[in-house]
A and B are shown apart, each in its own frame.
Chain A
Amino acid sequence: MSPVQGPREDPRSDAELVDLARSGDRRALDALLRRHHDRVHLLCRRLCRDRGDAEDATQEALIAIVRGLPRYDGRAAFTTWSYRVTTNACLDQLRRRARRPMPSDLGAGDGTGPAPLIEDAAARDAADPERSALAGEDRSQLQAALAALPEEFRVPVVLRDVTDLDYAEIGDLLDLPPGTVRSRISRGRARLAASLPDLRAGTGNQDRRDDVRPAGPT
């Protein structure tokens, strides 16, 4: 595992790369995917509780972006559009996850009761840091707090604060009225703040490194 390498700089704009990729230029497509991979992965990591799920969702998102390029009309910035595609890939992953417990979860416990699902991963890791380390999780305080946040709050907060989508766009993605989106974001932030005592002091994660600094939509 290594920190994220910075994307290879390509002087061409997203719009130029998209046009070239659509016309069959593989190098342009490669450059476009490399430019946006880390941003896509960051969103997936924030939305999914589990790093493996996030990696799978990232791959699905990149494939969906490639397949959707012919239908990208350029009205929204490519970054914004790719965030929406990525969100759908992550929501698909979350739905699959909700339906399928981890094999390790199936084998967990004493067999006398229902096995815990991944939803309990944060609690398990908190109780057993060594297990988390062995599993290779890069779970920071933030990731632990996000993982403990119910999906109904986590997803709107992440979409608003990572992707800058507005309430209406988030509502469209989640099939919720904008007022409900706003309410959930507000409550979700409050819950995050409650579980991250340093948040209001502005210190956040004490183990912060500057590996990834996603830019906002362009």
Chain B
Amino acid sequence: MSEPEDLHEPNPEDLELQRAVRDLLRSDPVEIDPTRREAAIAAALEAAVSLEGPEEVAAERTAAQVAAHRSPAARHRRRPPGALQPILVAAAAVAVVAGGVAAFGQLGSDSQVDSAAEAESAHADSSTMSGASNEAGTDAAAGDDGSAAAPTTTVAAPSSAQRSAPDLGDFADVDALLETAATTLGPASSFDGSEQEGLASAEAELRDRAAAAGLPCAQQAGDRAAMPVALARVQAESVVVARTDTGTFLVLDAASCGELARR
């Protein structure tokens, strides 16, 4: 980090400024649209309801509810007009990706079997409200090594000893990537796991395996009820494609693991 660090004690003027900024930031009024306020609370309550129901139905209900409560401007922003198409997605690459996805299918099955026993006990703890925190920022470093190794354009044949992540290639924007992800990865991802008992434990195992296979941001994707399924690049920046149980695809920044888009 080349940025100079300011480690000295603040002088009295700084303390005065600090107090002034703090007071202003806390007291300057913020108007709240009561309709949006109620909508946000309703969406959160709905998310709680969803967490109590069957996994797939629940997640779909949550997604629909969240979308319904989102601001019209935001809904529009998520699909900007004139979205560019991918720069290049070779048919061969798609075929290789399919092979990679199939490999993860095997991978997922293995892990689900492996973790079946401990999953059963874990399930008991999450019967009322299971789910994930968004408190993932501190794990950003987890993606560092993975993202550095990510930019590959081919997928090696997976083996039990070494597995490579599917790579969807290069894209001009996230919409184009999401489009391709939906087409090539499809709704029936191997990371489903929703039919298994002890879902939480099985997912943790899957995340570990995904990370071992070179897919970063497993924890952060898990926090969003999703699993990493592929790598790609958007405008030359490495990203991770993750997928929820209901087939929603997320694009995460490979370096920070922050969510860039979803569909």
Number of A-B residue pairs at CB separation under 8 A: 248
The residue from A64, A99, A179 contacting B133, defined by CB atoms under 8 A apart = A64
Nearest chain B CB to A18 CB, angstrom units: 11
Q: Which residues of B have CB within 8 Å of A192?
A: 21
Among A33, A199, A202, point to the contact of B41 (Cβ < 8 A).
A33
Is B136 close to A, CB under 8 A?
Answer: yes
Of the residues B17, B21, B47, B71, contact of A66 by C-beta under 8 Å:
B47
Task: Indicate if B29 sits at the interface (CB-CB under 8 A).
Answer: yes
> Are the CB atoms of A103 and B80 closer together than 8 Å?
yes
Whether the pair A37, B20 counts as a contact (CB closer than 8 A) is: no
B7 to A179, Cβ gap below 8 A? yes
Q: Is the interface of A mostly helix, strand, loop or mixed?
A: helix
Contacts known (A1-B31, A41-B32); A106 close to B80, Cβ less than 8 A: yes
- Asked whether B51 is an interface residue with its Cβ less than 8 Å from the other chain, the reply is yes
Q: Which residues from A are CB-within-8-Å of B81? A: 103, 106
Q: A63-B66, A180-B1 are in contact. Are A172 and B29 (CB under 8 A)?
A: no
Whether A59 lies near B69 (C-beta < 8 A) is: yes
Interface centre among A21, A29, A92, A183 (most CB of B within 10 A): A92
Known contacts A2-B34, A196-B24: does B47 contact A103 (CB below 8 Å)?
Answer: no
Chain A residues whose CB sits within 8 angstroms of the CB of B45 once the complex forms: 26, 29-30, 33, 66
CB distance from B244 to the nearest CB of A (A): 13
The answer on a CB contact under 8 Å between A140 and B29 is: yes
Which residues of chain B are near A187, meaning CB under 8 Å? 6
**Among B29, B130, B258, which residue has its beta carbon within 8 angstroms of that of A208?**
B29
- Give the residue of B31, B80, B132, B137 whose beta carbon is less than 8 angstroms from that of A4: B31
Closest to B130 in A: A70
Interface string of A72-103 (1 = CB under 8 A from B): 10000000010011011101100110011111
Q: If the complex has contacts A4-B32, A62-B41, A193-B20, are A208 and B133 also in contact, measured as CB distance less than 8 A?
A: no
In the complex, the answer to whether B7 meets A182 with C-beta atoms within 8 Å is yes
Would A204 and B28 count as touching, CB distance under 8 A? yes
Instruction: Look across to chain A and name the residue whose beta carbon is closest to the beta carbon of B175.
Output: A100
A29-B45, A180-B5 known; A200 vs B20 contact (CB < 8 Å): yes
Say yes or no: A174 contacts B133, CB within 8 Å. no
B77 surroundings in chain A (CB, below 8 A)? 100, 102-103
**A142 located at the interface, meaning its Cβ lies under 8 Å from any Cβ of chain B in the complex:** yes
Q: Which residues of A contact B70 (CB under 8 A)?
A: 56, 59
The 28 sampled A-B contact pairs (Cβ below 8 Å) are: A3-B31, A4-B30, A4-B31, A33-B45, A37-B41, A56-B74, A59-B70, A62-B44, A63-B47, A68-B131, A70-B129, A87-B137, A89-B134, A92-B259, A100-B78, A106-B80, A138-B31, A142-B24, A161-B18, A162-B22, A175-B137, A180-B5, A183-B4, A199-B21, A204-B24, A208-B27, A208-B28, A210-B27
Q: Is the CB of A38 within 8 A of B32?
A: yes
- A42 near B: Cβ within 8 Å? yes
The smallest C-beta distance from B5 to any residue of chain A, in angstroms, reads 3
A24 touches B129 (CB 8 A): yes
0/1 string, A172-208, CB within 8 A of B gives 1: 1111110110111011011011001001101011001
CA distance A89 to B70 in the complex (A): 14
- In the complex, the answer to whether A99 meets B44 with C-beta atoms within 8 Å is no
Please indicate the chain B residues that have their CB under 8 angstroms from the CB of A211 in the complex: 29-31
Q: What CA separation (Å) do A204 and B138 show in the bound complex?
A: 34
Residues of chain B lying within 8 A (CB to CB) of residue A42: 26, 30
A45 beta carbon closer than 8 Å to chain B: yes
Instruction: For B33, list chain A residues within 8 Å (CB).
Output: 1, 55
Task: Indicate if B92 sits at the interface (CB-CB under 8 A).
Answer: no
